Amino acid sequence: MLKEHGFVRVGCVVPELKIADIEFNVNEIIKQTKIASENKVQILCFPELSITGYSCADLFHQDILIEKTIKALQTILNETKDINTILIVGAPIRANNQLFNTAVVMQKGEILGIVPKTYIPNYQEFYESRWFTSSKNIIKHEIELFDRTIPFDTNILFRDKENKEICFGVEICEDLWVVNPPSNSHTLNGATMIFNLSASNTILGKSEYRENLVKMQSAKTISGYIYTSAGINESTSDLVFSGQAIICENGNILTQNKEFDFNSNMIFTEIDVKRLINDRQKNISYMQSSETQKEYKEIDICILDEVESLSREYTKTPFVPTNDKKKITVCSEILNIQSYALARRLKAINFPKVIVGISGGLDSCLAFLVAVKACEILNMDKKNIIAITMPGFGTSDRTLQNAKKIIHEYGTTFKEIDIKKVCEQHFEDIEQPKDKFDITYENAQARERTQILMDIANKEGGIVLGTGDLSELALGWCTYNGDHMSMYGINCSIPKTLVKYLIKYIADTSDDNIRETLYSILETPISPELLPLDNNQISQLTEKEVGPYVLNDFFLYHFFRYGGAPSKILLLASETFKDEYTIQEIKEKLELFIKRFFTQQFKRNCIPDGPKVGTVSLSPRGDLRMPSEAEYKMWML
């Protein structure tokens, strides 16, 4: 079940509606509630004044409309008393000689609380203060309905009895548009979700504005924001309504509907409240507000743990841009961060030469391309980049030729230094059998390459540019004081899946010769090439040792970015990769990831400087202060 992992299935409906036809509207609310219940939606929100219709205008002064609304609420309660879904519907409610525009929260035949609207628009096309009063004018914070005393206030939070992190507040339409929305206070006092019942008409550009408003409020409050607005059937006289519905989590739209639909339409997905709480906990500025001083009434709710599978989809490559329209912008920004960071470092140390080892693989290729761009930024001669290929016992002809081609295509200084002879001498010196293909055999080559780079850097008055990536740092897949070391680690926060994406982007925007070479590099199996070849083919495949990088990057993102428990990560990965890997395979790779992540911290504690690019960075000076001796047993599945 998903509740234990912090998931709540929420939904919103833009219902088919007839203005002032309460019977029709109530029947549609009940119908949509039953559909939601069949889909295991746990909290369902309808638009503002959804029982009567928002556009009733002076009809709100008619006794019959208000009295029928109360009877309609009783009908909804009766018809949904056996349904577990929590409903939030909009209704006009009289209290203390005043009429309020309210959200009525109900479950299993009982009204849990009523939240009145605070900010009443009365400008341009809006005349709400002609009919409704603000919650600021409430005299009593309770109301008698159906022989019960019901909380009637804006400062109400609805909190699950079992999982206290599942908690929501409500605001209505204009409340969101003001400088200090009620949801600011709701979330500071514990609400992880905000439901907004709205009736916002549409004009040119307003749909995009609303979308950005919801995204921004969700991001500012680190909350799930569920917004649903009145549909096309509300349109009358001069106003047109489009029926916009959005479910957002911490600034990211999870799902939204198609506007302008005369029929009822519903969207639903899961909000991950544990993820939200984790972000709030890490953001120490979050609670620094006087808003926390408000007094709140908390109402117990019961969210049944009956959702068995996620409807929400997760990308297999969370570090990689998912929006193709933004591909150019995102890739350009990443490469700018890397290249300008390197340019700044070169400027600070008086424009030295850049020494980079080129293997013909992905990481060194990206580091080399960034170095080229940094030289262009500084108007430095590309000959100041000394690109060195160092073939060893496992170097394939393919990678060697690709390394040479990419160096020559960009016109940088080229050196080829074969390390086999010196490694054989080293093996003899330390009494290492030449045919013993163990970790010593492998690491001796990696350290020899680093020694060559460092010594040439001294000789040429340059710096060694590191090539290792974020995924390798997370797994400790680097030789201590070998490829682990440099003067500047340019790829230190670029995971393997993103390295491939960036190289493909550069290939797609390059001329034919460069494109051909880059595509060949992209298609080359990932390998350190430290073990002898098998019929001139690469025999050592990294992903056989540490697991597929697509899985490792997925684990890293959810483990480090959101502090996800391994059981939750296993759930997400099992759903996301169900067509590619079995649960057992994912479990084995996840446990391997966790073990390596913990036991290899000592390598990360002494990594060189390098630019932070995304939200995940493992630098001991920035984002990860972790003991090298920490036990990992508690994280094993």
| Active-site amino acid positions | 48, 117, 173
DSSP state letter for 561: I
CA-based end-to-end distance of the chain: 17
For the record, the structure tokens of 247 come out as 């479910």
Q: Tokens 């759930």, residue?
A: 571
DSSP string covering 256-306: E--S--SS-EEEEEEEEHHHHHHHHHH-TTTT-SGGGGS--EEEEE-----
Residue 138 phi/psi, 5-degree rounding, is -60, 135
Pairwise CA distance, residues 516 & 511, whole Å: 9
Pairwise CA distance, residues 29 & 50, whole Å: 8
CA neighbours closer than 13 Å in the CB half-sphere of residue 381: 6
Pairwise CA distance, residues 392 & 189, whole Å: 61
Q: Which of 356, 345, 462, 452 is nearest to 406 (CA)?
A: 356
| Residues 129/160, Cβ–Cβ less than 8 Å | no
For the record, the structure tokens of 169 come out as 């507040």
Pairwise CA distance, residues 484 & 623, whole Å: 19
Pairwise CA distance, residues 225 & 241, whole Å: 21
A 10 A CB-CB count for 478 gives: 22
Adjacent-strand bridge partners of 419: none
Residue 468, CA distances (Å) to 346, 490, 594 in order? 19, 8, 20
Pairwise CA distance, residues 422 & 401, whole Å: 22
| Residues 163/125, Cβ–Cβ less than 8 Å | no
Q: Give 467: exposed, middle or buried? Use CB within 10 Å, 0-12, 13-18, 19+.
A: buried
For the record, the structure tokens of 552 come out as 């490792």
| Residues 395/505, Cβ–Cβ less than 8 Å | no
Helices (H) and strands (E) in the chain, counts: 18, 20
For the record, the structure tokens of 366 come out as 């990206």
Adjacent-strand bridge partners of 156: 297
Pairwise CA distance, residues 351 & 226, whole Å: 52
Residue 16 phi/psi, 5-degree rounding, is -60, 140
Pairwise CA distance, residues 414 & 165, whole Å: 59
Pairwise CA distance, residues 558 & 615, whole Å: 11
User: Per this entry, what is the length of the chain?
Assistant: 637
Helix runs in 90-189, H state only:
182-188
